[in-house]
């Protein structure tokens, strides 16, 4: 075990041993192996790049990583996030706010590090929090190989080091979203804005995937290998799959890696174990590896289905939310990278002084291809593609192919001599005479791989904005005695770039000429429909509010809440809020932006003006942004599942079809003894997140579950599918698409009505005695009605009587019919149940027609009591509720006696 522990201690090797070769001959096989498990300190090492960033031509060495920084620390912005244990470099550009951590390096600094990227500037794609793994636990980290195998395996990192040959390969990882910002400028995709630095190269040490799979012995019929990490996310653990024949092919070079540039994997890069899939998009290289599952079908993981796909360009972001079958179509899944290139120098906004008298300028950049293909040609044009010039190409990866037989690097055999595949980026450069730069409008570059696939001129826009690889265009501005260069975009929300400039000027970026008018061409502009802006603030209010002030109002007295950085006092609306006071109390002291904007109508948003009291100051916004967004796990398990101020996860465990468009979704709570905590008559909020944009889809539902049921939550949901006449439901179709075993977030309870039992109700906190319920519902509106009706009818001591009128289109649409019929039959003395159909069959013997005035006047009549002992409960589609409201008002029913769920 001593030998294994040395793999973590990483003693410093000599520069001569690791850089120059032929290396010093090993003393013995065992001593060589021990020596190979040391070495990640690069203080005395140098790469094959000179100090100015240019590549060395000394073929007696192969590149090693440049010196990494020793002064990085946990950054202040991460203190209040789950990543408060992760050391990071402040130079990295955050693309998705503070958390989760998705970053790229400044393009110039990435290029200047050379062929290999330090852990400091390597791009990061995280979907959620980084799992915390202590150094002392690294060797005990375990993963499994399971599924369609004859020999299932459970193996620790220590055993992986002891029992399998280690190899070291240089591999470039590229995010499928590299250069997505360009697509987002043309038309917003569902992905965040990567610049052109969503790629990096490192030396990865580990075990060849094929060696592990051969030990596990895949069964006949197995076709895929699925990977799953330890990063727990809103929709399960991150996972994906590749084809089995790729995974066992040594030419594909797929690794289970435990070192990056000779060091233990950094937390952001999968500490302590990850998959590295060369030549494919970074999304296939699962970090924090826990499971390898051999299967007959591609992964059913949420993130395999709803991420890393190029859908047809005709599909809009709005359409995509309601197309589960399209997302599952493996034809649209991305595996191999496509050929791509970018210009790094001249950098964006770089200026070249003509007074220096330079004869030429060296234009430089990178290129890569996918699937092991080699970039064979890089071309540059100064006249928009009429003529092209060949650039020089340098492949530092080739230097590793020259390593002598038996050479080791960072504990792994370094042997690329037998393999022709290329899994790393290359560099290109071309000297362009300065007079030519003075006379051109732009510099465009394109690359070609060995299969003669060349980068396209025009962008292929798609809903996720992935695999963007049109010609990379740098605009040249001649400003008198200076040339200024302008890249297409800048990453994240950083302004700048010719694409934003052209679009703001009204240019059509998809006109085939980069949005610019050609000589003699009529000006073509794209008129975008202006977004409707709703004012939610009182412009006369000029008050800065601190986080301490806000938190003094986080209870049920003067509840303050925040929307888009503005503070609102909900006190005056507690009684009138349709969702009940509990909704406002649940938001008190919190940032309610996500929920408010996802649920409320434009009218509700406009009402906020009346409740606006100030603006949260900048420091407080940062604190609030890092606040808790999911339920904490306390030392003792909670007896009730729902919490009013934080989201709690439950796992979808079953989906039962009730009718053609209705299903019961069953969720497992956190433990078998836990109840939902939902009062009778109230509802809960369910949240799904778009796996790419993290945009929330939030809707309210009333479960069918008994309030006393433990461990499970059953929710009846009518799924509104797309039809030629209308768009379907975003939430219901998303729920129908998620696989069993994935998470959904819950929060609550909310609602202004609660049935306390035996005729006693609470409405907006005020108790009321009811002798007779009139329950009017339609479609899935039966669910809140069902809760109250069941509570009345299952209590033999409850004297309350009920009239239920349930309207539907056809007989098959009647939900919960068997339960309703049984309860009504058993309680005929206090329950009258009526069904009415708008499109009945000839054999239907019940009521016919819609919920019209004739029906309601006949069955309900005018308001019969003056003491409020009758209460009408209404729940159904908006047209039904609107019609019933009008009819009841005409029949003399007061607003206080009619409650709309």
Catalytic residues: 175, 307-308
What is the rounded CA–CA span in Å between residue 441 and residue 474? 9
The pairing of beta strand 801-808 with beta strand 753-757: unpaired
C-alpha closest to that of 114 among 69, 173, 50, 68:
50
Q: What is the tally of helices (H) and strands (E) in the chain?
A: 24, 44
Task: Please return the burial class of 513, using the count of CB atoms within 10 Å of its CB with bins 0-12, 13-18 and 19+.
Answer: middle
What is the rounded CA–CA span in Å between residue 840 and residue 836? 8
Residues 6+ apart with CB under 8 A from 435: none
Give Cα 2 to chain centroid, integer Å.
41
C-alpha closest to that of 379 among 338, 425, 343:
343
C-alpha closest to that of 589 among 544, 536, 627:
627
Phi, then psi, of 712 in degrees rounded to 5: -130, 155
How many other C-beta atoms lie within 10 A of the C-beta of residue 720? 18
C-alpha closest to that of 658 among 572, 777, 779:
779
C-alpha closest to that of 328 among 679, 685, 690, 739:
739
Half-sphere CA count of 756, side-chain side, radius 13 A: 12
Q: Are 229 and 527 in contact (CB under 8 A)?
A: no
What is the rounded CA–CA span in Å between residue 685 and residue 699? 6
How many other C-beta atoms lie within 10 A of the C-beta of residue 730? 16
Angle at 453 between CA 314 and CA 420, to 5 degrees: 130
Q: Are 747 and 648 in contact (CB under 8 A)?
A: yes
What is the rounded CA–CA span in Å between residue 438 and residue 175? 35
How many other C-beta atoms lie within 10 A of the C-beta of residue 57? 8
Q: Are 63 and 86 in contact (CB under 8 A)?
A: no
N- to C-terminal Cα separation, the chain: 65
- E strands, 440-543, in order: 442-449, 472-478, 482-486
Phi, then psi, of 580 in degrees rounded to 5: 85, 160
Q: Are 53 and 112 in contact (CB under 8 A)?
A: yes
The token duo for 122 is: 């390597």
What is the rounded CA–CA span in Å between residue 423 and residue 414? 15
Q: Are 81 and 98 in contact (CB under 8 A)?
A: yes
Give Cα 638 to chain centroid, integer Å.
28
C-alpha closest to that of 671 among 634, 626, 623, 624:
634
SS3 label, residue 721: coil
What is the rounded CA–CA span in Å between residue 389 and residue 444? 10
Q: What is the DSSP string of 250-270?
A: GGG--EEEEEETTEEPPGGGT
What is the rounded CA–CA span in Å between residue 164 and residue 634? 40
Using CA atoms, how far residue 445 sits from 342, 559, 593, 815, in Å, is: 7, 58, 43, 61
Look at the block and give the residue holding tokens 């977004």: 531
How many other C-beta atoms lie within 10 A of the C-beta of residue 764? 17
Angle at 784 between CA 783 and CA 790, to 5 degrees: 85
Q: Are 746 and 685 in contact (CB under 8 A)?
A: yes
């Amino acid at each position: 075990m001593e030998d294994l522990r040395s793999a973590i201690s990483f003693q410093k090797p000599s520069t001569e041993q690791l850089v120059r070769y032929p290396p010093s001959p090993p003393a013995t096989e065992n001593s060589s192996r021990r020596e190979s498990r040391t070495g990640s300190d690069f203080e005395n090492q140098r790469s094959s790049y000179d100090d100015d960033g240019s590549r060395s031509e000394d073929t007696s060495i192969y590149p090693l990583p440049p010196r990494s920084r020793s002064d990085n620390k946990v950054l202040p912005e991460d203190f209040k996030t789950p990543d408060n244990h992760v050391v990071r470099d402040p130079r990295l550009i955050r693309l998705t706010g503070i958390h989760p951590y998705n970053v790229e390096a400044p393009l110039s600094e990435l290029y200047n590090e050379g062929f290999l990227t330090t852990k400091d500037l390597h791009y990061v794609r995280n979907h959620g929090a980084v799992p915390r793994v202590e150094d002392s636990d690294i060797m005990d980290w375990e993963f499994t190989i399971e599924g369609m195998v004859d020999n299932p395996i459970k193996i620790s990192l220590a055993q992986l080091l002891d029992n399998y040959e280690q190899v070291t390969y240089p591999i470039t990882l590229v995010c499928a979203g590299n250069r997505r910002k360009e697509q987002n400028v043309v038309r917003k995709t569902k992905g965040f804005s990567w610049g052109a630095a969503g790629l990096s190269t490192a030396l990865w040490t580990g075990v060849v995937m094929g060696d592990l799979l051969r030990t596990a012995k895949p069964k006949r019929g197995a076709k895929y290998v699925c990977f799953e990490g330890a990063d727990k996310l809103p929709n399960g653990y991150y996972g994906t799959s590749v084809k089995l024949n790729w995974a066992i092919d040594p030419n594909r070079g797929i690794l289970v890696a435990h070192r990056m540039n000779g060091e233990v994997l950094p937390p952001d890069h999968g500490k302590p174990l990850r998959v590295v899939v060369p030549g494919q998009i970074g999304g296939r290289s699962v970090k924090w590896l826990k499971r390898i599952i051999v299967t007959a079908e591609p992964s059913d993981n949420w993130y395999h289905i709803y991420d890393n796909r190029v859908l047809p360009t005709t599909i809009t972001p709005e359409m995509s939310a309601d197309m589960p079958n399209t997302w599952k179509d493996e034809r649209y899944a991305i595996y191999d990278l496509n050929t791509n290139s970018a210009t790094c120098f001249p950098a964006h906004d770089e200026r070249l002084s003509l007074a220096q008298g330079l004869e030429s300028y060296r234009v430089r950049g990178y290129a890569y291809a996918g699937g092991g293909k080699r970039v064979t040609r890089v071309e540059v044009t100064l006249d928009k593609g009429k003529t092209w010039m060949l650039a020089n190409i340098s492949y530092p990866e080739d230097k590793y192919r020259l390593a002598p037989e038996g050479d080791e690097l960072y504990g792994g055999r370094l042997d690329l001599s037998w393999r022709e595949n290329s899994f790393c980026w290359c560099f290109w450069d071309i000297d362009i005479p300065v007079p030519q730069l003075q006379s051109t409008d732009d510099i465009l570059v394109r690359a070609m791989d060995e299969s003669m696939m060349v980068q396209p001129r025009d962008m292929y826009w798609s809903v996720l904005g992935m695999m963007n690889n049109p010609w990379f265009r740098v605009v040249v501005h001649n400003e008198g005695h200076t040339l200024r260069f302008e890249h297409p975009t800048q990453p994240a929300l950083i302004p700048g770039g010719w694409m934003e400039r052209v679009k703001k000027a009204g240019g059509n970026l998809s006109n085939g000429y980069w949005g610019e008018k050609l000589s003699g061409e009529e000006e073509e502009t794209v008129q975008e429909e202006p977004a409707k802006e709703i004012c939610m603030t009182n412009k006369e209010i000029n008050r800065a509010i601190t986080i301490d002030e806000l938190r003094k109002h986080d209870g049920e007295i003067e509840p303050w809440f925040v929307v888009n950085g503005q503070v609102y006092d909900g006190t005056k609306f507690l009684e009138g809020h349709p969702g009940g006071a509990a909704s406002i109390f649940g938001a008190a002291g919190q940032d309610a932006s996500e929920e408010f904007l996802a649920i409320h109508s434009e009218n509700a948003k406009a009402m906020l003006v009346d409740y606006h009291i100030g603006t949260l100051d900048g420091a407080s916004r940062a604190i609030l942004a890092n606040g808790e967004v999911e339920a904490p796990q306390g030392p003792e398990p909670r007896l009730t599942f729902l919490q009013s101020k934080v989201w709690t996860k439950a796992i979808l465990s079953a989906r039962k079809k009730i009718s053609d468009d209705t299903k019961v979704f069953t969720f497992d709570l956190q433990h078998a003894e836990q109840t939902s905590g939902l009062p009778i008559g109230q509802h809960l909020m369910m949240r799904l997140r778009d796996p790419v944009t993290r945009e929330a889809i939030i809707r309210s539902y009333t479960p069918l579950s008994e309030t006393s049921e433990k461990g499970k939550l059953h929710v009846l949901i009518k799924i509104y599918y797309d039809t030629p006449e209308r768009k379907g439901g975003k939430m219901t179709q998303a729920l129908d698409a998620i696989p069993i075993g994935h998470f959904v977030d819950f929060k609550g309870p909310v609602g202004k009505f609660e049935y306390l039992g035996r005729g006693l109700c609470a409405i907006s906190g005020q108790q009321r005695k009811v002798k007779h319920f009139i329950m009017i519902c339609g479609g899935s509106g039966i669910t809140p009605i069902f809760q109250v009706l069941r509570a009345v009818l299952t209590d033999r001591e409850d004297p309350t009587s009920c009239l239920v009128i349930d309207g539907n289109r056809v007989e098959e649409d009647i939900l919960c019919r068997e339960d309703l019929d049984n309860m009504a039959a058993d309680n005929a003395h206090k329950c009258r149940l009526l069904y009415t159909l708008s499109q009945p069959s000839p054999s239907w013997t019940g009521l016919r027609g819609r919920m019209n005035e004739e029906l309601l006047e006949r069955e309900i009549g005018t308001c019969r009591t003056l003491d409020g002992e009758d209460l009408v409960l209404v729940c159904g589609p908006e047209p039904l509720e609107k019609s019933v409201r009008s009819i009841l008002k005409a029949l003399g029913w007061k607003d206080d006696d009619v409650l709309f769920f």
